[in-house]
Structure 1
Amino acid sequence: MRVSSFLRTAGLAGTLALGLLGPSNALAQVGHRPDKSPYEDFKIGQTLTIMGGWLAMQRDPAKVAPDASWLAALRYDIGVGGPASLFVRYTGSPSQRQVLVPTNPRPSRVLEAPSVTTHLLDGGLDIALTGKKTWRRLLPSVNGGVGIVSDFASADTGGYRFGTKFSFSYGFSMRYITRGGPQLRVDLTNFIWQYQYPDRYFVLASDTTAILSDTRNRSAWRGNWGLSAGVSIPIFR
């Protein structure tokens, strides 16, 4: 009887202790009082973002890709539930590129370097890494998307044409959320597309050199990193 009474008493005391300590244990797991927590609830709504930055074009095997240059972007985001949102983005980057004449010897192969603008239109999914909360007003996220890229130019003298093609993108974003006002945003994005070359790029010139000698380079995928920063304006609240 003593043992059973002791166990009943101990069980009652344990239950009471857990009831009393439950709230404090929950706070201990978070590590902060609710009014001092670095986490704040945040509803991912709709935003319109204007951005500027730099697009670091990676050199392609034939070296006819546009040079690295500044970029401007316009992005629209809409929350679709939980930490997820959909985005549509337009990016433009004015630059210049080389025009090659395949039949010329190597020293005189570059004909000119005209201006060109790379246009990118893509859309995809953005996932907030802190869920539906911000951490010290910061909201980090990862994203991926698909789209098209074009320079809207016809074939050049050497027969090369960039054309309009599919592109893929992935990246990381960081937003600083203000209370009721504009948000600050930084994006790091890798835009990936394919270069394809005409047959004449593989034909030997009079000096027995060609623009490209390895036919495996007839098409080449290249990633081009863009770093941009701007202001996001909440809309349709």
Structure 2
Amino acid sequence: MRVFSSRSFADSFAALAVPTVLTALMLGVPTAASAQVGHRPESSPYEDFKIGQTVSIMAGWLAVKSDPAGVAPKSTAMGQLRYDLGIGGPASLFVRYTLAPTDRTVLLPSNPRATRVMGTQSATMHLMDLGFDISLTGRKTWHHLMPSLNSGIGIVSNFASADTGYYRFGSKFAFTLGGSLRFLPKHGPQIRVDLTRALWKYQYPDNYFVKASDTTSVLTNTRQRSAWRNNFGVSAGVSIPVFR
């Protein structure tokens, strides 16, 4: 199992995020500039669109990847509230709050493997992130559609104290990468679909590496003391323009 150090992860994240934003800029701006080429204005599939401010109410599914110790929150349904603010050209800022009520397995590391699992406990996840969103069609829509790429940074937490096995999910940094597709008709509600990749790190207490009476332990390799995991979310909902 591969475990990333904080430095190697930062390098990997930069290697992913920078090309993503540069690609979005290269694709979005030229497309916007040449949107009308080859089409009469009244028949062009491209239409000008002002990227202003919107509030989106969304729901979907958060797929949480298992962690080395098996104490991660489980995959679950989620709700989201998102605010977007256009800052010029194809770019906008976003702030997003995700609520995902779920549960997780509780372990008692001092017990033998056969009796180590103590049950489950509530683990409502809260993910708050902010970042940049870049429209791939510039300030225009294509057949009323506007695809975009985004990346951000935030905090994930379940605001819970340590369990009986001394494990605590705690509050930790999270990095997000993703894409969106918006349907923007001239009249009626705007529809938004988001795909998001969220990364955060698990850290374990010392007793997860101590052998029980049956000579087994929850974790055997101290390099697993902290481990990054990818988690994926898909959500859809309605966007409401505000402060026009």
Q: Provide the TM-score with structure 2 as the length reference.
A: 0.84
1:205 aligns with 2:212: yes
Residue 7 of structure 2 corresponds to which residue in structure 1?
none
- Structure 2 counterpart of 1:101, one-letter code: L
Residue 62 of structure 1 corresponds to which residue in structure 2?
69
Residue 108 of structure 2 corresponds to which residue in structure 1?
101
Cα drift, residue 102 of structure 1: 0.3
Q: 1:77-156 counterparts in 2 under 5 A? A: 77-156=84-163
Q: 1:47 aligns with which of 40, 45, 54?
A: 54
- Structure 2 counterpart of 1:106, one-letter code: R
Cα drift, residue 213 of structure 1: 0.4
Q: 1:120-199 counterparts in 2 under 5 A? A: 120-199=127-206
Instruction: For 2:90 and 2:187, locate their aligned partners in 1 and report how far apart those are by CA, in whole Å.
Output: 19
Cα drift, residue 113 of structure 1: 0.5
- Structure 1 counterpart of 2:132, one-letter code: L
Cα drift, residue 124 of structure 1: 0.4
CA offsets per residue over residues 188-212 of structure 1, 9 Å max, x none?
0011111000000000111111100
Residue 10 of structure 1 corresponds to which residue in structure 2?
none
Instruction: For 1:142 and 1:216, locate their aligned partners in 2 and report how far apart those are by CA, in whole Å.
Output: 34
Cα drift, residue 168 of structure 1: 0.7
Residue 237 of structure 2 corresponds to which residue in structure 1?
230
SS of structure 1 residue aligned to 2:42: helix
Cα drift, residue 98 of structure 1: 0.4
Instruction: For 1:139 and 1:48, locate their aligned partners in 2 and report how far apart those are by CA, in whole Å.
Output: 16
* Structure 2 unmatched ranges of 5 or more: 1-33
Query: Over aligned residues, Cα RMSD in angstroms?
Result: 1.1
- Structure 2 counterpart of 1:158, one-letter code: G
Instruction: For 2:220 and 2:72, locate their aligned partners in 1 and report how far apart those are by CA, in whole Å.
Output: 18
Instruction: For 1:48 and 1:98, locate their aligned partners in 2 and report how far apart those are by CA, in whole Å.
Output: 35
Larger Rg: 1
Would you identify which runs of 4 or more consecutive aligned residues in structure 1 move more than 4 Å? none
Instruction: For 1:216 and 1:135, locate their aligned partners in 2 and report how far apart those are by CA, in whole Å.
Output: 49
Residue 38 of structure 1 corresponds to which residue in structure 2?
45
Cα drift, residue 107 of structure 1: 1.5
Q: Provide the TM-score with structure 1 as the length reference.
A: 0.87
SS of structure 2 residue aligned to 1:155: coil
- Structure 1 counterpart of 2:110, one-letter code: T
Give % identity.
65
SS of structure 2 residue aligned to 1:107: helix
Instruction: For 2:98 and 2:241, locate their aligned partners in 1 and report how far apart those are by CA, in whole Å.
Output: 20
SS of structure 2 residue aligned to 1:113: strand
CA offsets per residue over residues 25-83 of structure 1, 9 Å max, x none?
xx9x8232221110110110000000000000000000100110000000000000000
